[in-house]
Homo-oligomer: A and B are copies of this chain.
């Protein structure tokens, strides 16, 4: 795969890492960054992540072969709709958003002829923000979900998969809905729970936390605006996952109330089996 101009809209941790990985792997001749705030773009250009940068979307996508939208999910649809008429024919659009159904639904059938959008979600990142936390190996061996629906252009799908593989990622094709249901359990509910536990901690107990509490709540340091967008675009699946969690917590509650130590031990052993199987 070779790209003449790769445009990254939203140059933060993910967008910056895409730029770095593309640079390190010689994937693109020229990398253009688009963003509202000048500081992250300047940082990215100064650190060899970008060849050029602009606050103007129209200008940024003008010569693009591939545009990746790496903004918070709530901005992706509007930005892609605004970008598409200014893209050259044959240009491929994709994204790195954490939810997929709403974005794919809004974009797949609403772009000009010859401009295709394929949804993507690289399962990589951290609670940190900004291109200063970007690194070229972020996608190495990680999984990127690329979405397919009955309307997805087959060549665009293949090209999108090849792009993420060229950045070092493994790729799995899923429907947007299947992705969103899965991620509600593996990412969105855990974030909601981490935030709830963090909020419960009074200042006086900060010094009585150890590595366990820090691990469990680490992702609660994520950007509230970014996560509000994720939750708002996957409400139904997150509510279902939350109900499932309530059922699990009810098992623990009953075992505690009745001092059923065998049951407690069974619940903890089941959790350990899953966690051990997952690896470190």
Q: Which residues of A line the B interface, CB within 8 A?
A: 123-127, 142-143, 145, 172, 182-183, 185-187, 189-201, 203, 205-225, 227-228, 231-232, 235, 238-239, 241-242, 244-246, 248-249, 251-253, 256-257, 259, 261, 264-265, 267-272, 274-278, 280
A148 to B212 Cα, complex, angstroms: 25
CA distance A238 to B259 in the complex (A): 12
Given the known interface contacts A195-B271, A197-B245, A200-B248, the answer about A278 and B217 at a Cβ–Cβ threshold of 8 Å is yes
Q: How far is the CA of A280 from the CA of B239 in the complex (A)?
A: 29
Q: List 22 A-B contacts (CB under 8 A).
A: A123-B210, A142-B210, A183-B208, A185-B200, A185-B201, A186-B208, A186-B209, A194-B212, A195-B268, A196-B252, A198-B275, A200-B248, A201-B278, A214-B278, A216-B218, A220-B272, A221-B272, A221-B276, A222-B268, A223-B272, A227-B268, A232-B259
Assembly of this chain: how many copies?
2
Known A126-B211, A276-B221: A242·B252 in contact at CB below 8 Å:
yes
Q: Are B228 and A205 in contact (CB under 8 A)?
A: no
Q: Say whether, besides A216-B194, A272-B221, A206 and B277 are in contact (CB < 8 Å).
A: yes
Residues of B within 8 A of A245 (CB): 196-197, 200, 249
Interchain CA distance A196-B196 in the complex, whole Å = 14
Q: Contact: B220 with A239, CB < 8 Å?
A: no
Q: Once the chains bind, are A264 and B228 in contact (CB under 8 Å)?
A: yes
Judge whether A192 and B222 touch: CB under 8 Å: no
Chain B, residue nearest A280 (CB): B214
Assembled-state Cα–Cα distance A271/B185 (Å): 20
Docked pose: A257 CA to B236 CA in angstroms:
8
Further pairs besides A187-B212, A217-B274: 10, Cβ < 8 Å: A125-B210, A143-B208, A183-B208, A185-B201, A190-B213, A197-B248, A200-B244, A215-B216, A239-B256, A242-B256
Question: How far, in whole Å, are A72 and B192 apart by their CA atoms in the complex?
Answer: 31
A172 engages B207 (CB within 8 Å): yes
* Closest Cβ–Cβ distance, residue A22 to chain B (whole Å): 21
In the complex, the chain B residue whose C-beta lies closest to that of A223 is B272
Name the contact of A185 in the complex, choosing from B145, B195, B205, B220 (C-beta under 8 A). B205
Bound Cα distance from A126 to B211, whole angstroms: 7
Q: Say yes or no: A198 contacts B124, CB within 8 Å.
A: no
Q: Are A272 and B192 in contact, with the CB atoms below 8 A?
A: no
Contact B186 A205 (CB under 8 A): yes
Please determine whether A219 and B218 come into contact, CB atoms closer than 8 angstroms.
no
* A187 cross-chain contacts in B, Cβ below 8 A: 209-210, 212-213
